Amino acid sequence: MDSLGAGMLASTQTQQKAAPMATRPAKQKRVHFSMLRNYHPADLITLGNGAAGTAAIFAIMSYLIAPEIWRVYLSMGLLLVALLFDIADGKIARRRAEHSPFGQELDSLADVVSFGVAPATLAFGLGMRGIIDGVILVYFVACGISRLARYNVTAGDLSDAAGKVKYFEGTPIPSSLILVAILALCEYMGRVGDNLPFGMIDIAGANWHPFSLLFFVNGSAMISKTLHIPKL
């Protein structure tokens, strides 16, 4: 083989070795908190809803350790903040046309914390601590979870041509703040703890405050299919 042929062969072999290296994809740089970078403004406000609800739970838990009245009102005030966030995120999402399945799921998870778990924790902290009370409060939270899950899978069927849901099946979960307002009135009147309205009943050694039936009724209304509540 002459020198020209040997040179061409060596050049070909060099290109074949270099080709796989050239086609190898560049290693993607890892970005910390990359998921948060993709959040829309409405999603961040939704997170504020869940954060306020979680802080409300912590506030009423601290009340059980140090029974100072301001802790109760702080918990209730934080739930009001959560409601404001819940209203704001929907308005911003519609204004910016940023509706997404992710945002819908995020909203439901935040609502479970702020309008399901937090009101139940508040009721427990203010005196509904009997066994039957606990069962009713767990039922209330379970109804809230079920109501939001049903909404997520039926929203498409209930929406109009513009994609807006015309009505709720069952009462929306933020309706639990009506119970929070009633508890606030009870706190103001000194009717909490052993002085809850309607007193306490002992059933086979299990304590029950009939006042907790308000949570049973509210939870049952949330999972009702016959109640149609217009969405504003």
Length of the chain as a residue count? 232
pLDDT tens profile 30-57:
655 566 667 777 888 999 999 999 999 9
Q: What is the mean pLDDT of residues 101-114?
A: 90
pLDDT tens profile 19-35:
455 455 555 566 555 66
pLDDT of 100: 73
pLDDT of 14: 54
* Nearest CA among 124, 135, 217 for reference residue 176: 217
Q: What is the pTM of this model?
A: 0.80
DSSP letters spanning 45-81: HHHHHHHHHHHHHHHHHHHHHS--HHHHHHHHHHHHH
Q: Are 53 and 113 in contact (CB under 8 A)?
A: yes
pLDDT of 95: 76
Q: Which domains does the chain have, with CATH numbers?
A: 40-230 (1.20.120.1760)
Q: Output the six-digit token pair for 204.
A: 């086979």
